Structure 1
Amino acid sequence: MRLLSTLLAAVLATTAFSALAAEAKDPVEARKAIFKDYKKVFGQGMGAVMKGEKPYNKDEFAKLAEQMVELSKQPWQYFPAGSDKGKSEARPEVWSKPAEFKKAADEHQALIVKLAEAAKGGDLAQIRPAFGAAQKTCKACHEVFKKD
C-alpha cells in the first residue's frame, strides 16, 4: 500500500507540473506532456492494479480515476490546425476528420467518467469492465488518429 501511495503522490505531482508546463509549450509538446501523464496514471497506475501487478486500494484507485477525468479533458485543445508539424505523432485524419476525432474524444471522456463512478463504488467487478471499456477507446483512437 505504501508503494501505491508513493506512486500516487508522484503521479499527482508530475501531472500538476506537466499541466503547467503544457501551457508554456507549443501544442505538440503540450499534448505529448498530457499523454505522458495518461501513461503514468492510466497505464502505470490504474493498469498495473488491473493486471494484478500492484495491490488494489479503493481510495487511491478512486483518486487516480478522478485524475483521469481531469486529464481526459485536457489534450484535445492542443490539436489546433497547423499543429501537425514537427515531431507530431498525430495522423492527418485528426484535422481532415474533425467530427470523428471529436466523437472519439467525447466517447473516451464519457467512459473515463463512468470508470471514475465505478471506482468510487470500490467494487472491482464493476471497475474492471469500466476500465476495459475506457482502455478500448484509447486503442480505437490510436488506430485511426495516431502514427505508429
Structure 2
Amino acid sequence: MKARNLVLAAFACLTLAACGGVDPDSPMGQRQAIFKQMLKTSEDLGGMLRGRVPFNEQRLVEGAAELDRISRTPWQHFPQVKDEGDTRAKDEVWQRQARFQELARETEAATAALVAATTATPLNSTELVAPMQRVEDSCKACHEEFRAY
C-alpha cells in the first residue's frame, strides 16, 4: 500500500510541475526559446571578443552567422493580439507595432553587419568589438522599450 501511495504522490507532483510552464509550441514558448538561443550565442561571441572565452576564429564566424540567422526568427512569434499568460513582453509590443518592428529590423541589420565584419581575412578580433557592441546595443534598446522585468 505504501509503494502505491508513493507512486501516486510522485505522479501528482510531476503532473503539477508540468502544468506551470509555457507551452513550447505556443508563440510565447517559441519566441522564448529563440531569445534564449540568441542570448547564449551572443554571450559566447562577446566572451571571445572580451577575453573571457578563448578566441576561436571558426567558432566566432559560425556563431555570428548563427546569430544572424536566428535574429530574424522571433518576430514571427509575436501574434497580432497580446498573449495570454505570464509574458515578459510589455503591452507596448502590441500597441506600438511600428516601433517594435523598427527595432527588430535594427537588430537584424546589426547581426548582418557582424557577419560582414567576419569576412575580413585575416580576422582581427579587435575590429569585431564595435559590430558586436552594435548587436548588444540593439538588443538592449528593444528590451528597454518592450520587455517587462
TM-score tier after normalising by the smaller chain length: 0.7 to 0.9
Q: How many correspondences in the alignment?
A: 124
Q: What CA deviation, in whole Å up to 9, does each residue of 1:58-78 have, x standing for no partner?
A: 111000000011111110000
Find the structure with the greater CA-based Rg: 2
Distance 1:78 1:63 in 2: 25
1:72 and 2:71 matched: yes
CA RMSD of aligned residues (A): 1.2
Identity value in percent: 31
Distance 1:67 1:83 in 2: 28
Q: What CA deviation, in whole Å up to 9, does each residue of 1:21-73 have, x standing for no partner?
A: xxx70100000000110111111x11211221111111110000000111111
**Where does residue 86 of structure 2 map in the other structure?**
87
**Where does residue 25 of structure 2 map in the other structure?**
25
Distance 1:65 1:101 in 2: 23
**Shift of the alpha carbon at 1:120?**
2.5
TM-score (norm 1): 0.80
**Where does residue 42 of structure 2 map in the other structure?**
42
Matched letter for residue 73 of structure 1: R
Distance 2:85 2:97 in 1: 20
**Where does residue 10 of structure 2 map in the other structure?**
none
Q: Which runs of 5+ in 1 are unaligned?
A: 1-23
8 A Cα contact 1:81 1:95, kept in partner = yes
8 A Cα contact 1:28 1:87, kept in partner = no
**Shift of the alpha carbon at 1:92?**
0.7
Q: Which runs of 5+ in 2 are unaligned?
A: 1-23
